[in-house]
């Protein structure tokens, strides 16, 4: 199941979040559409995904993962087909609304919910492994996209990706997700034990708000840094080619941190994953803000923190609230974070234009430091539960 989900994640992220990096230049060159409008398609997709995420979580909780995840493949295919045939920018952007529906029903948050429902409190390992697959999405899809565009054109490349969603992702997702049955849930004593929820938290609503805020800030800061990372490095006196070379360290840092989490994560509560995430992201940004001479260290620290943020996003709500409500709560948590993630790059660009790069990095560092304070507050609010768990 995790391998099938992982393949679908690579294709899903590669044809949505990572789409503009390779596709935007040839689309602009061929059509004359504005680069800003072409790139804004991804923001539209993230916004749509965020808006539907609460309903997606409820649907997975009621009906299981199969109908929702299989629908995502159909939506991705339909949206990419519309992009490939788009005669004007209006149709192009409307196609991204459909792709956004696919993002909301098929990327991490929806799959985390499905894994939590399937494996109960034992879902931490599968969630961590899934993020390892996702970490290679740009590594695989960027060169593949460049190859397809070079040999077939960007429109045909979109149609090929649409076909891959139908002939690869859809059958895989259908094969490994089954209808939810009571017999399956009680098939083993381990599964029955895994379905038990943790003790109800006395201040659950406040804990949920703090957790959603932490994840939203991490997503927003991460989104700004990903989009404007090369600008940040060049402001530190790094030449463009060297900045690109340094930027390639970001992916390995994410995957490396996820591998460490995979190896040792079972030995500690997921809240410590988020503690590490918040601290590492803050340290990385603070070093860049302070003109630290060894930028490699800053990149590795920040990349590692951002990489495990996605693991904490899936495992911490599961540990705090239990698997019974996890699909619904995962959808509600995804709602603000995806919207922030969609709007943050534009906000970052405005800040860079009006206040400069240093001020922008300073604000991001302050937000990351706020997350350190919030995760400490969350730990204090949940410490009674943490003492009762191994």
Buried/exposed code over 240-264 (b: 16+ C-beta within 10 A; e: otherwise): eeebeebbebbbbbbbbbbeebbee
Domain match, 99 and 216 both: no
Mean pLDDT for 288-309 is 89
Residue 363's CATH number = 1.20.1250.20
Domain end point (choices 160, 194, 228): 194
pLDDT of residue 61: 85
Domain match, 176 and 321 both: no
Give ∠ CA 294-222-206 in degrees, rounded to 5: 125
Domain match, 28 and 164 both: yes
pLDDT of residue 78: 97
Q: Which of 27-36, 93-102, 261-270 has the weakest average pLDDT?
A: 261-270
Domain match, 22 and 152 both: yes
Domain end point (choices 172, 194, 216): 194
**pTM of the entire structure?**
0.81
Separation in Å, CA 46 to CA 139, 223, 255, 308: 21, 11, 23, 20
Residue 108 · residue 52 · CB < 8 Å: no
- 3-state SS, residue 148: helix
Domain range for 280 is 204-388
Domain match, 91 and 225 both: no
Separation in Å, CA 213 to CA 204, 223, 293, 299, 322: 14, 15, 32, 24, 19
Kindly report, residue by residue over 222-280, the tens digit of the pLDDT.
Answer: 888 887 887 888 888 888 778 777 877 877 888 888 889 888 878 888 899 999 999 99
């Amino acid at each position: 199941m995790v391998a099938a989900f992982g393949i679908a994640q690579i294709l899903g992220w590669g044809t949505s979040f990572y789409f503009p990096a390779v596709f935007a230049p040839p689309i602009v060159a061929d059509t004359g559409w504005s680069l800003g409008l072409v790139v804004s398609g991804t923001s539209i997709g993230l916004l749509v995904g965020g808006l539907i995420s609460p309903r997606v979580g409820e649907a997975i909780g009621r009906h299981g993962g199969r109908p929702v995840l299989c629908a995502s493949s159909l939506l991705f295919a339909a949206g990419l087909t519309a992009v490939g045939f788009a005669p004007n920018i209006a149709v192009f952007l409307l196609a991204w609304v459909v792709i956004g529906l696919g993002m909301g029903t098929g990327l991490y948050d929806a799959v985390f919910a499905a894994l939590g429902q399937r494996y109960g409190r034992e879902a931490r390992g599968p969630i961590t492994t899934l993020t390892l697959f996702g970490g290679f999405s740009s590594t695989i899809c960027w060169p593949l996209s460049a190859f397809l565009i070079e040999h077939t054109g960007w429109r045909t490349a979109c149609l090929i990706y649409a076909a891959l969603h139908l002939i690869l992702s859809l059958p895989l997702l259908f094969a490994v997700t089954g209808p939810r049955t009571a017999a399956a849930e009680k098939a083993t004593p381990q599964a029955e034990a895994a379905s038990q929820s943790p003790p109800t938290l006395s201040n659950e609503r406040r804990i949920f708000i703090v957790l959603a805020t932490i994840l939203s800030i991490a997503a927003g800061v991460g989104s700004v840094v990903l989009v404007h990372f090369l600008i940040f490095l060049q402001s530190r006196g790094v030449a463009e080619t060297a900045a690109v070379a340094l930027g390639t360290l970001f992916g390995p840092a994410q995957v490396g941190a996820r591998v460490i989490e995979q190896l040792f994560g079972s030995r500690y509560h997921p809240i410590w994953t988020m503690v590490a995430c918040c601290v590492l992201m803050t340290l990385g940004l603070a070093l860049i803000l302070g003109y630290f001479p060894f930028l490699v260290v800053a990149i590795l620290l920040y990349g590692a923190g951002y990489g495990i943020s996605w693991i904490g996003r899936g495992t911490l709500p599961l540990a705090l609230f239990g698997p019974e409500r996890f699909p619904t709560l995962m959808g509600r948590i995804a709602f603000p974070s995806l919207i922030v993630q969609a709007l943050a790059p534009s906000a970052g660009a405005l800040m860079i234009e009006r206040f400069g790069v240093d001020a922008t990095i300073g604000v991001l560092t302050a937000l990351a430091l706020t997350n350190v304070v919030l995760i400490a507050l969350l730990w204090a609010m949940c410490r009674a539960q943490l003492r009762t768990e191994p």
